[in-house]
Amino acid sequence: MEVDNTSQSLDKFPIYVALKVSEIWRLRNNTLMIYGLDTQELAYKTQSESIAFPGLPITEIPQFILKAKQDGQRSAIRAFRQAVQDAQKDCL
């Protein structure tokens, strides 16, 4: 997985394809876009759910980045971990 929060990654997509990076997250203006690798077409396509965190709504993920800036990274990680655990319970 590649997470792009600070720089433009669109030009790097061919590199990520060559490395077989399965998922790219791009955060722009507090909006998260997730791109999954289509291995048949060797291209990235937007997807509504993360492969790494199934069941976790992608619209909620930017709040954890903001939380890290406001409350500190440890607090944000704890909150994110709890959200992932809750999402996994909902998937079962």
Task: State residue 22's pLDDT score.
Answer: 93
Task: State residue 92's pLDDT score.
Answer: 59
- Asked if residue 50 lies in contact with residue 58, where contact means CB atoms within 8 angstroms, the answer is yes
Question: What strands, in cross-sheet order, belong to the sheet with 31-38?
Answer: 2-4, 23-28, 31-38, 43-47
pLDDT higher than threshold 70 for residue 66: yes
Tens of pLDDT, residue by residue over 41-56, are 999 999 988 888 887 8
Tens of pLDDT, residue by residue over 19-36, are 999 999 888 888 888 999
pLDDT winner (highest mean) among 7-11, 45-49, 64-68:
45-49
Please state, in angstroms and rounded to a whole number, the distance separating the CA atoms of residues 79 and 65.
11
| pTM over 0.75, yes/no | no
